[in-house]
């Protein structure tokens, strides 16, 4: 993860004071209902984001004029960042940010982004396999078809598995009909607000989702866990070295697939293909941590299960439509 002060204000005292002001504002918040998760969500963001994102969210908290805006900010981060990232989907109507100037930022992003297709998926998988040596980058086991077709006579002696290309920032965040561009832009505004380096250093946007630096060759089960934020790769002080972190719902059967020291080092078998981006993996790891310490991972999973189970609305009106509409 990014050093706590690496992207903070140049004056350390100002940085600490800013976070203290944000915490003081949260301490004054009065919940509007018994199951209000506002403070838990906002404190999770302040705790887990890279420093540049912490500064932004702290300023957003301080800028809220009342309890309603504090609640709105938490709902904005839930519906515009956590839900889309976790569920690989967009919310029908993301809660807008109460931040002054936020709508202008969203409009600017709307003019910049465009929907992407899966036309590049075959190319992306081939490029990642070539870079990752035809192996899952975490387990080191060979892709079964690459091994079988290699013709080197070693297929029978290798441990092989089915591999897939795992996007770090979900591909679904860049696939949307034109009429939903504003919704997508609201999501990307939240991403840039929490992870400024993605825009400032990578110029990352929907058009870059199918770039190799946003993708990793993974076996199918680890891809599923990575995509659902049960598995994260946390940056270390060393370039291209990541600490593997698993969360409570990671299947215990698959622990054996992971390196014993829970560390993975990315190397490029083909140096012309860029390795996975530290900034993108840092963002993914931060979202994973926020989801789990806030309890929103299970909350979103519950919504997804309920939507799958419910075929129609309850006749007695007891169906929580607003909750179900967080995910489509």
Which of 31-35, 60-64, 188-192, 279-283 is the least confident region?
A: 31-35
Pairing of strands 263-265, 142-143: unpaired
Structure tokens, 116 = 């992407």
Give the pLDDT band of residue 305 (cuts 50, 70, 90): confident
CB atoms within 10 A of CB 65: 9
Of 67, 70, 49, 73, residue with least CA distance to 195: 49
% of the chain exceeding 90 in pLDDT:
80
At residue 33, the pLDDT reads 84
Distance CA 71, CA 20 (A): 19
Mean pLDDT of 159-186: 95
Please give the model's pTM, rounded to 2 decimal places.
Answer: 0.90
At residue 328, the pLDDT reads 46
Mean pLDDT of 264-275: 98
Give the pLDDT band of residue 321 (cuts 50, 70, 90): very low
At residue 319, the pLDDT reads 38
CB atoms within 10 A of CB 237: 6
Give the pLDDT band of residue 93 (cuts 50, 70, 90): confident
- As a dihedral over the C-alpha atoms of residue 153, residue 154, residue 156, residue 159, rounded to 10 degrees, the angle is -160
Distance CA 83, CA 214 (A): 20
DSSP letter for 328, please: -
Mean pLDDT of 298-313: 72
Structure tokens, 245 = 């972190």
Mean pLDDT of 271-278: 98
User: Which of helix, strand or coil describes residue 233?
Assistant: strand
Q: What is the mean pLDDT of the chain?
A: 90
Mean pLDDT of 311-319: 45
Res. 45: pLDDT tops 50: yes
């Amino acid at each position: 993860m990014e050093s706590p002060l690496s992207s903070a204000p140049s004056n350390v005292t100002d940085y600490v004071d800013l976070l203290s002001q944000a915490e003081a504002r949260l301490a004054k918040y009065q919940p509007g209902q018994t199951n209000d998760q506002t403070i838990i969500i906002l404190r999770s963001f302040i705790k887990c984001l890279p420093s540049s994102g912490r500064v932004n969210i702290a300023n957003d908290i301080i800028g809220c004029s009342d309890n309603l805006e504090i609640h709105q900010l938490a709902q904005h981060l839930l519906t515009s960042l956590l839900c889309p990232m976790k569920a690989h989907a967009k919310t029908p109507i993301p809660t807008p940010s109460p931040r002054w100037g936020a709508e202008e930022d969203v409009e600017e992003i709307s003019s910049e982004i465009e929907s992407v297709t899966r036309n590049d998926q075959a190319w992306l998988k081939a490029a990642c396999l070539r870079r990752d040596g035809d192996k899952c980058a975490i387990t080191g086991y060979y892709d079964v078809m690459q091994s079988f077709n290699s013709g080197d006579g070693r297929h029978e002696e290798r441990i092989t598995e089915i591999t897939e290309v795992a996007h770090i920032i979900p591909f679904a965040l860049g696939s949307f009909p034109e009429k939903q561009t504003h919704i997508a832009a609201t999501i990307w505004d939240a991403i840039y607000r929490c992870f400024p380096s993605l825009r400032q250093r990578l110029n990352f946007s929907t058009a870059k989702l199918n770039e190799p630096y946003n993708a990793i060759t993974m076996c199918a089960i680890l891809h599923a866990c990575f995509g659902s934020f049960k598995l994260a790769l946390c940056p270390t002080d060393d370039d291209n070295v990541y600490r593997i972190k698993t969360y409570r719902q990671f299947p215990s059967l698959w622990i054996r697939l992971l390196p014993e020291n829970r560390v993975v080092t990315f190397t490029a078998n083909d140096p012309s293909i860029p390795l996975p981006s530290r900034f993108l993996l840092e963002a993914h790891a931060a979202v994973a941590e926020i989801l789990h310490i806030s309890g929103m991972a299970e909350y979103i999973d519950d919504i997804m299960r309920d939507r799958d189970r419910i075929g129609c609305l309850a006749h007695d009106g007891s169906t929580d439509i607003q909750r179900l509409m967080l995910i489509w």
